[in-house]
Structure 1
């Protein structure tokens, strides 16, 4: 990917996403569960049609599937997975490799 087509943006995701232009990105990778459901909604706004959202560590090494796990981060991950699954604007796959990855394509 040429330098003109690639842009790495770091920082607090909640602060950063609100400043980005609509439908201007092909790929977003989210690693933090903080405000993840809101970030999923913002990512839909930011991604071009056909763009991909990747949520890294989506299964948190199996914690998400364990109903006894009720910590904030695990609940945020569950809520994000559910939000994407129930939203017909996304086509998604959950990969149970390592900590898990959720791949969602904007339709």
Structure 2
């Protein structure tokens, strides 16, 4: 990738000896050194790291979320941080979401947060290639008090399922799947979203690798392409939220 003009800004990775009594969100790319970002230099201090870590852990999780998170840990499945979940819940509530599509069911952690922010009659359509994970999510949703008709579970690859969903039928599309398919999922999301709808991508920091100038695997290069595409698209109003492992969010213009 390189550092040509217009490229995604390169930030230093998180130092292993960062001094904070709170854990900095893993892979966030924060550093205590000064960093250059689009022509503006600002210090990233230990206090700022602590503040970010506090914000990411600000929301208390209930029993259903803790159960789903524990199943994820046992199964070796990554799940969104509490801060990311709270952001998703807020975004779903902000657009008064009635229809949400999720790529990457996992064990239901992100799904619970999305359902909590959606309208009481809203339906979450969630896609995952592993049916066993979706069984965990079904149990988690029941434990969180959601009726069975609030979620539609579709097993399969995202790029096989998303093309079958209705054009303009969704208020929010959340992508937490295969990073190699990020750009294709973005194209599908833009088709699925109504004007004013939101698309969100989780894990865009890639544990600090996206902003690390060292050589990176193809999946990280794809994330950098995603960042550039979203930032430069005239169809989108974008923001990159530094919660969890990075939440890229954009509104589709009307």
Same fold, judged at TM 0.5 (above): yes
Do the aligned partners of 2:209 and 2:216 also contact (CA within 8 Å) in 1?
Answer: no
Q: Measure the CA separation in 2 of the matches of 1:106 and 1:69.
A: 32
Query: What pairs with 1:1-107 in structure 2 (closer than 5 Å)?
Result: 1-3=119-121, 5-11=122-128, 12-32=157-177, 33-107=179-253
The Cα of 1:2 is off from its aligned counterpart by: 2.5
Higher relative contact order (CA 8 A, sep 6+): 1
User: What does the per-residue CA deviation read over 1:25-67, in whole Å, with 9 as the maximum and x for residues that have no partner?
Assistant: 0011101213111111111111000100110111112110012
- Residues paired across the two proteins, number: 106
Q: Measure the CA separation in 2 of the matches of 1:25 and 1:69.
A: 37
The Cα of 1:86 is off from its aligned counterpart by: 1.1
TM-score (norm 2): 0.40
Q: Measure the CA separation in 1 of the matches of 2:249 and 2:230.
A: 10
Runs of 4+, deviation exceeding 4 Å: none
Unaligned runs of 5+ in 2: 1-118, 129-156
Q: Measure the CA separation in 1 of the matches of 2:243 and 2:208.
A: 10
TM-score (norm 1): 0.91
Do the aligned partners of 1:61 and 1:98 also contact (CA within 8 Å) in 2?
Answer: no
Greater share of residues in strand: 1
User: Cα RMSD (Å) of the superposition?
Assistant: 1.3
The Cα of 1:68 is off from its aligned counterpart by: 1.3
